[in-house]
Amino acid sequence: MNIPIPYGRQNITEEDIEAVVSTLKSDYLTQGPRIAEFEEAFASYVGSEYAVAVSSGTAALHLCTMALNVKPGDKVITTPITFAASANCVRYCGGEVVFADIDPETYLMDINKVKQLLESSPKGTYKGIIPVDFAGRAVNLEEFRQLAEKFDLWIIEDACHAPGGYFIDSKEQKQLCGNGKFADLAIFSFHPVKHIASGEGGMITTNDKELYEKLLQLRTHGIVKDESKYKNSPEFANGTTVRSSGVETYPGWYMEMQELGYNYRLTDFQAALGNSQLKRANVGLETRRALAEKYQEAFKNKEFVKGQSGVIEGHAYHLYVIEVEDRLGLYNYLRGNKVFAQIHYIPCHLMPYYRDLGWKENDMPEAEKYYRHCISLPMYPTLQVEEQDFVIAKIKEFFDE
């Protein structure tokens, strides 16, 4: 048995290493062919029309808010139970984050709370919604899409926890996270503890060609290198045009920075690693679901468990969460036995930054109640049977079971 046992761990195989080494030996370390290969494979995996690889999930969120023209003062709704980046992306553009409390049964943003916010304000008050597939449980985006259409809102799906996850729609069809049918844009993360690891990295998926092209431009400093899209016509290009075969055109070195973008590119060797990992993503997903089933059975009907992730169709199980009394005691006991469980998350609205913007205790009672009891157990495909048994035994031992 491997000790210590973390809450999450990357799995790097020989095939992954070979893919990276091959790219390191190639002509391109960045802006090369591995990027497009990864984007095409990932779009196929989630069922979207387009995919844009970027340097992190946070970069993906920022580019999405930019592409959707979030401006100072624009109000956007998201959940307090998420990593801070889900909210911060709105602030990067000067927008205002408004939190909506969670459903205590699902840990996801409560659509009824969102409805209350929208219906209690004049139409046009809010610009968009950022639902989060927390822990790997897919948000029912069909319901959110109906709400968005009623109030003229866009949707960014934060699917960082849920590649391969899905929900069942009203026609009893599986709808994969990030497939673009209900959200305008969706984002994913390739941090080492996620399903697909590339060190750092992220992906944006969409079915909107205009947004896709906008993202490509913003990803690379806002620079355009496509003659058909230049804003300077030849006669106003200050002598930069050349005449070839009687046709006036721009030289090969010409480019235009048309707006303020960023360097949010992914490298080719990161893309090679991500693409290699993507090839076995479904195997890892099935392993996570099997681990979840074992946790559920171990803690079913236990008095010390106030709630748990459980076995839910379509759940991608980035995390397996249980809620307990004396969460701090259990956390420290597990650490003392080299089991490094984690807490996901301190509610965003209680972070000092958001407190300074006016948020306070009791603003999100369900999120705050959840936070007082939640603990994320080890969950990764290489977690061995004896390791999971050890984790379960130590939790029961703490509660004298």
The CATH code of the domain at 5-221+261-280 is 3.40.640.10
What is the overall mean pLDDT for the chain? 96
Least confident of 12-26, 78-92, 251-265, 375-389: 251-265
Nearest Cα to 184, choosing from 131, 262, 122, 260?
131
Residues of the chain with CATH 3.90.1150.10: 282-398
Nearest Cα to 13, choosing from 283, 223, 211?
283
Q: State residue 58 phi and psi, 5-degree precision.
A: -65, -45
- Condensed to tens digits (0 to 9), the pLDDT of residues 216-253 reads 999 999 999 988 888 876 666 666 667 666 677 788 88
Please give the Cα distance from 221 to 108 (Å, whole number): 35
Least confident of 236-240, 272-276, 287-291, 373-377: 236-240
Residues of the chain with CATH 3.40.640.10: 5-221+261-280
Please give the Cα distance from 76 to 335 (Å, whole number): 38
Hey, how many other C-beta atoms are within 10 angstroms of the C-beta on 368?
19
Please give the Cα distance from 126 to 128 (Å, whole number): 6
The β-bridge partners of 112 are: none
CATH fold for domain 282-398: Aspartate Aminotransferase, domain 1 (3.90.1150)
| Model pLDDT, residue 246 | 67
Give the pLDDT mean for 38-63. Answer: 98
Residue 368: which pLDDT band, with cuts at 50, 70 and 90? very high
- Condensed to tens digits (0 to 9), the pLDDT of residues 101-153 reads 999 999 999 999 999 999 999 999 999 999 999 999 999 999 999 999 999 99
* The pLDDT of residue 369 is above 90: yes
Q: Which residue has the tokens 């999930």?
A: 57
Nearest Cα to 2, choosing from 234, 250, 339?
339
pTM: 0.96
DSSP state of 250: -
Give residues with Cβ within 8 angstroms of 141, minimum separation 6: 131, 155, 157, 167, 175, 181, 182, 183
DSSP string, 303-357: TTEEEE----TT---S-EEEEESSHHHHHHHHHHTTEE-B-----GGGSHHHHTT
Residue 73: which pLDDT band, with cuts at 50, 70 and 90? very high
Please give the Cα distance from 107 to 308 (Å, whole number): 10
Give the pLDDT mean for 199-210. Answer: 98
Contact 266, 55 (CB under 8 A): yes
Instruction: Look at the alpha carbons of 229, 179, 268, 379 in this order and tell me if their dihedral is positive or negative.
Output: positive
For the chain, the straight-line distance linking the first and the last C-alpha, in angstroms and rounded, comes to 23
Three-state secondary-structure class, residue 396: helix
Across 66-165, the runs of DSSP E, i.e. the strands, are 75-78, 96-99, 126-130, 154-158
The β-bridge partners of 375 are: 322
